[in-house]
């Protein structure tokens, strides 16, 4: 492509992103002061290259999947955020009182508001994290909450039902033994030490130790050993996009956004700070774009992704993730 063709393609892509309507030759004639014959010839050439498609209900053109890819790789310039939006993100990562999970969740909410798309986090706590404390909170005579905290600020809880025959004082006593012996233990070693060090001790000091042991083992196994965090924010924002006016498309998209296994297809390994997957390349849905970045924040590593239509404001989304990466690098560790 020559420079004029590149300029025309950029105008068509950005015009369609903004208006959600096919771009006709008249608009381009007025914009670039070229004849309609010249514009039609150039558009036909771009279509031949596979970068444009004809719209079935008008004479205008829309970007193809390949057109979006060429635009992203060669023509797009990331958009700078407003000072207000930058301040919102800065405020989160400057707040040392926020635990990691809360900081990431608030970040997702702001990103979704700024971009008007769905934002997702797929996190895995670093194996370098250690146990800071486990606490037992009684709710009533048969229900307790086990609260686990790591040194990196990860806090998770799970509710358990205990048999009426179990003495709550013995549950608390077991908790004290675990804290005394396991605080500072790497998360990946918790299960092994519970089995070979803690269980023999409580078997001598606690009645019905098997049942009580299972409570703590399941607590760690379910929300510490797995170390996975999964959040989806702004699902409804996608429904405001004109691409999703059809009820069957809405149902299909919402089903995917609620399915963790489907969303985890987004979690790809690559070396880029920001990666863009358009249509089929997303492995999530042929009609969406996924833009993602990996993060490391206070010991937690994971992925933040933004999901939108292929007619996404690429420059704006990349601008948001550039700011996010900058602050995570400066404040994250």
Q: Are 237 and 212 in the same domain? A: no
Which domain does 70 fall in, by range? 3-75
pLDDT, residue 2, reads 93
* Distance (Å, whole) CA 142 – CA 101: 29
pLDDT, residue 58, reads 64
3-state secondary structure of 52: strand
Residue 270 Cα distances to 240, 266, 292, angstroms: 31, 11, 10
Q: Are 113 and 71 in the same domain? A: no
Q: pLDDT-based confidence at 52, cuts 50/70/90?
A: very high
The enclosing domain of 316 has a CATH number of 3.30.450.40
Cβ neighbour number for residue 37 with a 10 Å cutoff:
10
Please say whether the beta carbons of 63 and 8 come within 8 A: no
Q: Are 123 and 236 in the same domain? A: yes
∠ Cα 231 240 31 (to 5°):
120
Q: Check whether 280 has a pLDDT greater than 80.
A: yes
Among the listed ranges 140-149, 232-241, 293-302, 307-316, which one has the minimum average pLDDT value? 293-302
Q: Are 65 and 201 in the same domain? A: no
| 200: nearest Cα among 183, 181, 184 | 181
| 100: nearest Cα among 63, 151, 143, 66 | 151
Average pLDDT, rounded, for the chain: 86
Structurally, the chain folds into a number of domains equal to: 3
* Distance (Å, whole) CA 211 – CA 188: 23
Residue 7 Cα distances to 43, 278, 314, angstroms: 12, 21, 17
Q: Are 238 and 210 in the same domain? A: no
Is the pTM above the cut of 0.85? no
92-124 pLDDT, tens per residue?
877 777 777 778 888 899 999 999 999 998 876
pLDDT, residue 114, reads 92
Which pair of tokens denotes residue 40? 């039609």
Q: Are 237 and 211 in the same domain? A: no
The enclosing domain of 48 has a CATH number of 1.10.10.10
3-state secondary structure of 207: coil
pLDDT, residue 302, reads 83
- Location of structure tokens 């992925």: 303
The enclosing domain of 220 has a CATH number of 3.30.390.60
Q: Are 198 and 237 in the same domain? A: no
Residue 194 Cα distances to 31, 175, 219, angstroms: 71, 11, 12
Please say whether the beta carbons of 31 and 67 come within 8 A: no
Domain boundary residue, one of 225, 251, 279: 225
Element (H, E) at 126: none
Domain boundary residue, one of 170, 194, 225: 225
């Amino acid at each position: 492509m020559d420079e004029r063709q590149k300029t025309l393609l950029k105008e068509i892509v950005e015009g369609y992103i903004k208006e959600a309507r096919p771009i006709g030759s008249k608009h381009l004639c007025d914009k670039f002061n070229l004849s309609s014959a010249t514009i039609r010839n150039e558009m036909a050439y771009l279509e031949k290259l596979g970068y444009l498609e004809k719209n079935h209900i008008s004479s205008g053109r829309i970007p193809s999947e390949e057109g979006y890819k060429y635009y992203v790789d060669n023509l797009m310039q990331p958009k700078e955020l407003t000072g207000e939006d930058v301040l919102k993100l800065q405020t989160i990562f400057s707040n040392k009182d926020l635990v990691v999970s809360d900081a990431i969740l608030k970040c997702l909410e702001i990103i979704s508001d700024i971009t008007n798309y769905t934002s997702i986090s797929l996190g895995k706590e670093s194996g370098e994290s250690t146990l800071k404390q486990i606490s037992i909170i009684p709710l009533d005579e048969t229900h307790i909450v086990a609260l686990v905290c790591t040194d990196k600020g990860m806090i998770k809880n799970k509710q358990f039902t205990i048999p009426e025959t179990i003495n709550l004082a013995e549950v608390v006593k077991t908790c004290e033994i675990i804290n005394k012996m396991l605080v500072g233990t790497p998360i990946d070693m918790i299960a092994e030490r519970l089995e070979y060090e803690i269980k023999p001790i409580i078997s001598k000091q606690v009645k019905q130790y098997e049942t009580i042991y299972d409570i703590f083992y399941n607590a760690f196994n379910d929300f510490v050993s797995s170390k996975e965090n999964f959040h989806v924010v702004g699902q409804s924002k996608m429904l405001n996009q004109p691409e999703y006016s059809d009820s069957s498309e809405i149902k299909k998209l919402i089903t995917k956004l609620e399915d963790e296994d489907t969303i985890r297809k987004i979690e790809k390994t690559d070396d880029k700070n920001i990666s863009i997957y358009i249509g089929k390349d997303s492995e999530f849905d042929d009609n969406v774009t996924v833009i993602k970045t990996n993060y490391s924040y206070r010991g937690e590593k994971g992925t933040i992704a933004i999901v939108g239509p292929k007619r996404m404001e690429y420059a704006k989304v990349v601008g948001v993730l550039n700011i996010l990466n900058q602050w995570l690098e400066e404040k994250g560790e």
